Structure 1
Amino acid sequence: MTTGLSPEGTHTATAALGTLIRGHRLRIGLTQRELADLSTISVRAIRDLEKGKALRPRADTIRLIADGLRLGPRARTALEESVSRGHQGGAGRHLLTERCAPPVPLHPLIGREAEAAILAEELRSGAERLVTVVGLSGVGKTRLALEAAARLYESGFPVLWHTAPDAVTDCLPAADEDPLADLVADCAAYLQGAGAAPTAPAHGRRPGSAAPAPALTALAGSASDELPPVALAAALGDREALLVLDGVDTARLDFARLTRLRRELPGLRLLLTADTPWNVPGERLFLLAPLDAPLPADPADPGAGADAPAVRFLLARLRRVRPELLPDEQTTAHAAWIAHRLDGHPLALAAAASWLSVCDLPTLRGIVETDPAAVLDHLADGHSGSRLRDRVARTLGALPPEQRDLLTALCAAQDTPAPDFGLDDVVRLTGRTLPDGGRMVRALLIGGVIRPSTDHGRSGFRVPCVVRAALAPADGTGATAAEAPAAVAPAPAA
């Protein structure tokens, strides 16, 4: 059994004290004033600690701050260890550790506890050094990466986070003056085959950011045109660290440069969120399906589905729109039915919840029953809702014709009372051999355009609602969003 590394006696336990305090404070949503009230420590003292001006506070001060942050035993130990070890390194390294926290998520994590625990443990232990989280757009890849990064940060890992320019964010943006953003952007550009010289184009830097911060240039101890592995190696030393590339296009990544990065930084872990896998040696493919949304409960027990992850997620979003909504049996029954009808897709559930501002829950259920595609547009931000269907349509358009044909045939079959399908159904519809059918199912799972289902007592699959909506005619002319044919052609005879 793989276990996490102990923080004692490792470089990961030497993160700057201010970084740990600030990270814990932001994770639970406290201001410096609120932490001061809870810990009975002055605001100025907390501010000095977070800025690194006070590196050796008294033990009682750390104890009171840990109490105010409600830290568990492991996090408390890491905080105390950072004090006993003191401040290490020069100004540049201090700058790195003070800026190495992951972004702050916009929403709490619901229904992904098992996935987050597995992902964080694999990265923390070093069992996996390259993990790519793949899944359909809006399924929650970024939120899962944020949680895994936060857990590694709590155990002492510096976290370097880069979001692709066209990615949909699920977190608060970094501060504009954050000098580490340039180093991380240069590293991301390096992995995509672009140079990092300051005289070259900005390669993903923020507008107006022309060159790396002077402190980081000094930290690298090298000429300004040296490649990011040199700067990272100088900044990190032999420390373990996590680099996250959120929303990256894996087709643009350079495996040879990854090899160099991993060779020169043996403690570095790389976490990607992407629509497609990289398909390189050593990659751990982490498939992220929609939230579990089982069949609605028996009418005799309408509240039985309240613990399902998709139902909990939907109820939380419904109450953001209607805080007075009580999670009684009737409300839970409606939520369970909607969650199942929308296949537990998080962004689809969030969009559906926004409709509670213009209708009640029974009416929303009726809309979903009649035309579930109608509620995929978020009322508070229709542009965001439209992008969801556009992104799904682009995913479908990139599939090989035989896979789109199969999806169309499966959608027609899902109009029957038993919407799930199995591998035998794929073989029957396509006329292909069992191994070929298995490869098609795996490819569709990796693309996120089908999801696992056990509603009917067997291992099966289902085409999610958002995919069916993208495949359906959009304007009554017969054209679909993905231009998918309506029949599946059997495999040609050998």
Structure 2
Amino acid sequence: MISVRFSGLLREFRRNSGLTQQELADLSALSVRAVRDLESGRVQRPRRETVRLLVTTLRLEGARRAAFEGAAAAEQAEPPSPADPFTLLGRADEVRALLELLRSGGQRLISLTGLPGVGKTRLATEVADRLRADGWQVSWTPGGPGTGRDALLVLDGAAPPGPYLAALLRRHPGLRVLATGNGPLRLPGERVMPLAPLAAPRPAPGADPAELLRQDAVRLFLSHVRRIRPGYRLAAAEVATVAELCRRLDGLPAAIEHAADWCLIHPPRRLLAWAAEDPLAVACSPVADGTGPDLRTAVRAAVDELAPVPGQLLRLLAAEGRAGSFEEILARAGGPAAEVARSVHALLLRGLIRSTPGEAAECFTVPRLVRQALAGLPLPSVRLLAAV
């Protein structure tokens, strides 16, 4: 649903009062230009004092006043959308950390890991663009890295054989490598940075829409809706619905963007109801163009890359569908504690499980989209894990 625009209500109420723009400006102590800009939509997020003056001048009461002030509040609360719909949102800390590591030269091989659709390529592109702007030589193919003091090779999802990459780093002392993939390359000197989804906490009852609109996951959803529906605005009552939708999609950027594509057909409340039944259906693009795997297929492929023991552990945890401490996971899985710990670590690096602080210890859970992707697959025998 698109909220009733403040500009339209102002124009309607002014005309109903029999006032021209000049007369409204004179009576309210505003400039006629300010009135024109407000009615045309050039000025969004009107100031509270301006709204108060207009309410008094137009003698708005009851439902008319509530509608007018509600439309103004929705526009005041909503931050401007990024000028570029592909602007990187919510990754300032990750960008800063990567730039520090690459510029220092202390880490020459860095791997960005995580779930498909978490934004590894976009983050790598942002970092590469910033370094290029600083005069670095940047290449996206192994055959073309620079030989200067500051050169970056970006390996997006397809790394060359380990010996070739190791020789490349030896041959070019000024070269750094930034790789993206579901998991680490497992090469000497590699620094692994697992990329988490965007934060998408459960909205509290009665949460302030202005606070929810500042969440990066919600901003991402809105910026992508506006690509297909320019001028789209949320009613204040719908903001919590979008925040909850982002939570049910695990804060995964690709899932949020695909859900936004469905807004040509469905309002947010319907998408949320759909996500409750099948979150992966909402998280997959409505455009089936065959150019790449959908999210369900991509997640299953990431699971298939796992070694046997981490793969078995993931299926066990997904079947349970609840958070648990390491001790609880160990009791459920059986087997040596060291082997289970290595498996948990491997799953964390790939984003196939996530950790959250608990009351007494760290808790681990399988993201909703991963559980959905694994639904219906055979559950492994606990004895296989215990036998390792």
TM above 0.5, yes or no, is yes
Secondary structure, in 3 states, of the residue corresponding to 1:390? helix
Partner Cα separation in structure 1 for residue 220 and residue 117 of structure 2 = 14
Secondary structure, in 3 states, of the residue corresponding to 1:489? helix
Partner Cα separation in structure 2 for residue 421 and residue 263 of structure 1 = 44
Shift of 1:331: 2.7
Deviations 1:340-382 (A, max 9, x none): 1111111111111111111111111111122212213211346
Query: Structure 1's 402 and 344: CA in aligned 2 closer, same or farther, altered over 3 A?
Result: same
The residue type paired with residue 155 of structure 2 is L
CA-based RMSD of the aligned residues comes to 2.7
The residue type paired with residue 422 of structure 1 is S
Deviations 1:246-277 (A, max 9, x none): 1114xx5132x334322332111111112221
| 1:240 is aligned to 2:134 | no
| 1:345 is aligned to 2:252 | yes
Query: Structure 1's 341 and 240: CA in aligned 2 closer, same or farther, altered over 3 A?
Result: same
| 1:465 is aligned to 2:371 | no
| 1:107 is aligned to 2:112 | no
Paired position in structure 2 for 1:298: 205
Contact 1:136/1:392 (8 A) holds in 2: yes
Shift of 1:159: 0.9
Match of 2:295 among 351, 367, 388: 388
Larger Rg: 2
Paired position in structure 1 for 2:196: 289
Partner Cα separation in structure 2 for residue 409 and residue 116 of structure 1 = 35
Partner Cα separation in structure 2 for residue 338 and residue 126 of structure 1 = 41
Aligned length: 305
| 1:406 is aligned to 2:313 | yes
Secondary structure, in 3 states, of the residue corresponding to 1:305? helix
| 1:146 is aligned to 2:125 | yes
Paired position in structure 2 for 1:376: 283
Shift of 1:457: 9.0
Contact 1:376/1:385 (8 A) holds in 2: no
Match of 1:121 among 84, 100, 119: 100
Shift of 1:427: 0.9
Match of 2:352 among 445, 449, 452: 449
The residue type paired with residue 123 of structure 2 is L
Shift of 1:118: 0.5
The residue type paired with residue 269 of structure 1 is R
Instruction: Please list every run of 5 or more consecutive structure 1 residues that lacks an aligned counterpart in the other structure.
Output: 1-104, 163-183, 188-231, 474-479
| 1:133 is aligned to 2:40 | no
Partner Cα separation in structure 1 for residue 292 and residue 235 of structure 2 = 29
The residue type paired with residue 246 of structure 1 is D
Match of 1:269 among 162, 176, 187: 176
Alignment of 1:211-222 (within 5 A): none
Paired position in structure 1 for 2:215: 308
| 1:489 is aligned to 2:383 | yes
Q: Larger RCO: Structure 1 or Structure 2 (Cα < 8 Å, ≥ 6 residues apart)?
A: 2
| 1:365 is aligned to 2:272 | yes
Partner Cα separation in structure 2 for residue 305 and residue 460 of structure 1 = 25
Query: Structure 1's 159 and 370: CA in aligned 2 closer, same or farther, altered over 3 A?
Result: same
Query: Structure 1's 139 and 376: CA in aligned 2 closer, same or farther, altered over 3 A?
Result: same
Deviations 1:149-184 (A, max 9, x none): 11211222111123xxxxxxxxxxxxxxxxxxxxx5
Paired position in structure 2 for 1:332: 239
Shift of 1:328: 4.8
Which stretch of structure 1 is more off in the superposition, 448-457 or 353-362? 448-457
TM-score by length of 2: 0.71
Contact 2:285/2:294 (8 A) holds in 1: no
Contact 2:203/2:240 (8 A) holds in 1: yes
The residue type paired with residue 115 of structure 1 is E
Partner Cα separation in structure 2 for residue 330 and residue 385 of structure 1 = 36
Paired position in structure 2 for 1:158: 137
